[in-house]
Structure 1
């Protein structure tokens, strides 16, 4: 039996970037409601979950046009139609990844940026996207070209703030020189910490907010190795290196240590993993995803957990790089480790 969740504290606010965006210290990742984690979940249940999250004080809702594709944006569009919900949230979506013949493509050319934005606005049923991310960097297009088109969308009032996902430090710098980047979304959790070497310091130097996706290790810190047994067919996590049997057996020891510490603190392992992210700074907003209200309530409970420096160090000792087996993705292409774009001088628009 899991320990009782701590009493939920009021959801505090954090500032992302230096352009004025303020959001709840924890957001809600909506991908799993519609895509990549097996069949889409019942629409009415997911709308109820979104409304529950907003009522609880969560203001950052995260989606993307490829989730579905398009189904997740349409779901959020319906949830936003209830009176007052749109006014109480910062809506984040993404462009750049698309499916063609069953394969994922990436585009960042100006025509695609504009068309993708118009499509998202229509599906979401809004006049303006609060935070618009480039989901993955198009290595064929200079980042300056992509950001310049996004800058035009800001000037036209269709986008408020610009973000990047899985971008390298040099790409972030080049983008920020064209128009201020408000947030960088990256995978950051107890067992994904390589961003701390270069990406996080670069964001902080430039005054860019940090949005941490998969802060629970794609559910690993919720259920440990047994999570894989409960995953539905077509859940993409079944193909991730860290969840393969030869790696999972070794990674299970990490969860056992974290869970033992959680038991001592009277919380769950998931709450402990989220609390670790919350203690990284006031410029960080994790966006754990869920499809169940009870799991959402547990996640928000992490905001009330206090960790000492010694406890932070103890947690980090459990998840040293040498103890984590397997990459984040089966193919690490199109992550920040491999996303440099050509120089602006090479660009010739077709």
Structure 2
């Protein structure tokens, strides 16, 4: 039976699978993945769940080529074709960027625009279960942004509020205005900074679920990306510092070490990473992305793997001694907001 956990804040009665499903790379490309392939990948994960549990699906207002709403339009087509799956999914959507921009604008006016755009694109096929600003806006106090979302919630435009890529201090401030149900941060064996641990601990204290995005190191920890040329033209990972040719060979040492542990455990490297992220706490939900049903099933199975204390110690030794080069993003301006 697939393992489950609960969300936090106002969604603490919602039971979800221990592993969530990120939908970004289905559409954040010039040629989106065909609908049927996306639909089968989404259904595969939901179908693993016990009755009453939901799959946490994470989408984005701007997860399309040139920041278009392609992701939401695909999701609307999915729920239009498979309406019975609407109640089996908990849909979290990132928004809050200035139109046609990568810069956050979490002013009340833009948050209203963002939430209304999301609902318009979903066309009534699915409730906006949770909205989260993709980044913390340095120009708008977090208290103002969360209060604006609470107002939109009271108007019935969304059901729960999340935060993303925020510091532990910002999470505490936001939660003081309105209970936060999910906080989304990057967590993987090659992305577990001191602030990562602070957010996880603060979320635990406040009763907030943590969705750990990129638990596979954006695919690097699977061992299938060995050289810069392995990334397709136009792939956004080509812009990330730790995927550059001069550091990839160096960074591959952690992949080899984790692969050895995975082989001994008779699991895939991806499953080992997912199991490790999930072991950081009962409130921590690994959030890998997948556009293939087979990969979705592999990821979900990773949430069912139990790691012994000896195995955790071995993995943590690898992480502690790894000298990862290159930052998570090209600019750190809006990280840990």
1:146 matched residue in structure 2:
145
8 Å Cα contact 1:65-1:93 kept in structure 2: yes
Query: Which residue of 14, 31, 41 maps to 1:49?
Result: 41
Cα offset, 1:223, TM superposition: 2.4
Cα offset, 1:214, TM superposition: 0.2
Q: How does 1:8-157 map to 2 (within 5 A)?
A: 10-19=1-10, 20=12, 21-35=14-28, 39-57=31-49, 59-68=55-64, 69-81=68-80, 82-98=82-98, 100=100, 103-126=101-124, 128-157=127-156
Deviates more, 1:175-184 or 1:50-59: 50-59
Deviates more, 1:120-129 or 1:245-254: 120-129
Structure 2: state its 5+ residue gaps: none
Distance in 2 (alpha carbons) for counterparts of 1:280 and 1:170: 20
Distance in 1 (alpha carbons) for counterparts of 2:99 and 2:248: 29
2:233 matched residue in structure 1:
233
Distance in 2 (alpha carbons) for counterparts of 1:288 and 1:226: 19
Q: How does 1:1-350 map to 2 (within 5 A)?
A: 10-19=1-10, 20=12, 21-35=14-28, 39-57=31-49, 59-68=55-64, 69-81=68-80, 82-98=82-98, 100=100, 103-126=101-124, 128-194=127-193, 195-226=195-226, 228-320=228-320, 322-336=322-336, 339=337
Cα offset, 1:22, TM superposition: 2.6
TM-score norm. by structure 2 comes to 0.92
Cα offset, 1:229, TM superposition: 3.4
Superposed CA deviations along residues 263-297 of structure 1, whole A, max 9, x for unmatched, are 11111111111111121121011110011122112
Alignment size in residue pairs: 325
Superposed CA deviations along residues 319-346 of structure 1, whole A, max 9, x for unmatched, are 226521111111111110xx2xxxxxxx
What value does the CA root-mean-square deviation take over the aligned residues?
A: 1.7
8 Å Cα contact 1:128-1:157 kept in structure 2: no
Distance in 1 (alpha carbons) for counterparts of 2:322 and 2:271: 24
8 Å Cα contact 1:224-1:255 kept in structure 2: no
TM-score norm. by structure 1 comes to 0.88
Distance in 1 (alpha carbons) for counterparts of 2:182 and 2:321: 26
Larger relative contact order (Cα-Cα within 8 Å, sequence gap ≥ 6) = 1
Distance in 1 (alpha carbons) for counterparts of 2:45 and 2:299: 11
